[in-house]
Amino acid sequence: MSLGLKEPRASKASPQNPASRKPASRKAPAQGRQPGSSIDVQRKKLLFPFVGPAFVLYTVLFIVPALGAVWISLHKWAGSGPMKFVGLDNYGRIFRDPLFLSSFGNTLLLLFVVGTAIFVLAFAMTLVLRDMAGKKVVRNVIFFPHLINALVFGVLAGFIFNPGGMVNSLLAPFGVTDPPKWLAQDNIFPLIMVTLVCTTTGYFTTILMAGVDRIPPYYYEDCALAGATAFQRLRYVILPLTWDVFGTCAVLWTISSVKIFEIVWVFGGSSGAGVPPTQSWTAAVYTYVNAFSGQSTPAYGAATASAVLSLALISVLVVLLRRAMRRDAVEF
């Protein structure tokens, strides 16, 4: 996750770097290159005092623990007591474990399927809300679910979908005597996906709307004059002008989707008192169960190995995503 956070920063900085770095170099500037402006030189001087403290904190709080996790992942360890070095065994075991693969598959489902649903809906809502009366109120309303603790949804799911719950009570008058088993183990993960779409769409709609609101109205007037359809307006005006916002949202979702844990935990297994059914595990849940399930000896080596693997795979995804989304920002 830490790598994922670093990536956008690094690539944001990169466009200006090639031009600005060389001149400030203490060596004589290469022939044919212009020396940097004094502002650039000042900037360089301020790099350490400004970036240093943050970097030290970041290193101590994130990078060192991440490297520590890599170290632990090479051992068999119960969290305290003796550590036994096992090399890459934990990684091999995880790759052979069908449970890790299905858990990671669920993480990818969240990332791509739920992600696609969220962004399609968020864009659709953005377009509808732009022209709507009372859009400020609506914006608050759709943002609201994001503020609620996932535990609430876990408990609520029980009220709504239990055999004697709200849905079945409402269906009964219509002659549905054998309603679907809503909370059967296989249905829990789809339910989690739907819940995530409902709770997260409003959050991204809000961010996207802030981007859309920046677009000056004369572009829309121009569209109207040119006789553009709603789709053309989206394709040629809104999307290009909000592409950077959209890209940031995509990275935010990628990072947060990998960490999705608590909603899975509270949806299955008695709202957190037990381990949820394996069908609904994500990579984060898999990691947690290995270390802290409370049902067996903790396996910190396997837990950290799965965390390191998820981190690596997600870092790759974020880099690819950034590559795919790279466009020159449109200035307006």
Partner 1 sequence: MGKTARHLRPLAALLGAALALSTTACGGATDASPAADAVDISGSISGQTINYWSMWKDGEPQQKVIATAISDFEKETGAKVSVQWQGRSNTEKLVPALNTNNVPDLVDGTLAKLAPVIGDTGQASPLTSVYSYGLDGKTVSSVIPEKFTSNGVFKGEDGQPWMVPYSISSDGIWFDAAKHPELKAKPPATWDEFMEVLDKLKASGAAPIAADGDIAGYNSTWFVTALLRLKGAGSFNALAEDKSGAGWDDPAVLEAAQKVESLVKGGYLNSGYNASKFPAQQQLWANGDAALILNGSWTPTETGSYAAPGFEYSSFQFPAIGDKPASARVDFIGFAVPAKSKNQVPAQRLAAFLLDAKYQNALGTDAKVLPVRQDAPVDPAVASVKAAIDAAPATHLQNDGVTFPGYTEKVFFPRDDELFLGKTTAAEFVAKMKEAQIQYWKDNG
Chain residues that interact with partner 1, rule: CB under 8 A: 17, 21-22, 24-25, 27, 47, 55-56, 59-60, 63-65, 67-68, 71-72, 78-83, 93, 96-97, 99, 157-158, 161-165, 181-185, 187, 268-271, 273-275, 277-278, 289-290, 292-299, 302
CA 325 distance to own-chain centroid: 16
Residue placing its CB nearer to partner 1 in the complex, 156 or 193: 156
Residue placing its CB nearer to partner 1 in the complex, 202 or 268: 268
Residue placing its CB nearer to partner 1 in the complex, 8 or 269: 269
Residue placing its CB nearer to partner 1 in the complex, 11 or 17: 17
Q: Residue 17 Cβ, how far from partner 1 at the closest point, in Å?
A: 8
Find out whether 218 and 309 touch, Cβ atoms under 8 Å: no
Cβ neighbour number for residue 49 with a 10 Å cutoff: 8
Q: Residue 247 Cβ, how far from partner 1 at the closest point, in Å?
A: 24
Q: Residue 239 Cβ, how far from partner 1 at the closest point, in Å?
A: 34
Q: Residue 18 Cβ, how far from partner 1 at the closest point, in Å?
A: 9
Residue placing its CB nearer to partner 1 in the complex, 63 or 215: 63
Q: Residue 99 Cβ, how far from partner 1 at the closest point, in Å?
A: 5
Find out whether 230 and 131 touch, Cβ atoms under 8 Å: no
**Helix or strand or coil: residue 112?**
helix
Q: Can you say whether the dihedral through the CA atoms of 173, 174, 178, 182 is positive or negative?
A: negative
CA distance 154 to 135: 30
CA distance 265 to 280: 9
CA distance 23 to 46: 16
Q: Residue 212 Cβ, how far from partner 1 at the closest point, in Å?
A: 37
Residue placing its CB nearer to partner 1 in the complex, 67 or 148: 67
Closest by alpha carbon to 156, among 267, 281, 3, 314? 267
Find out whether 61 and 44 touch, Cβ atoms under 8 Å: no
Find out whether 193 and 109 touch, Cβ atoms under 8 Å: yes
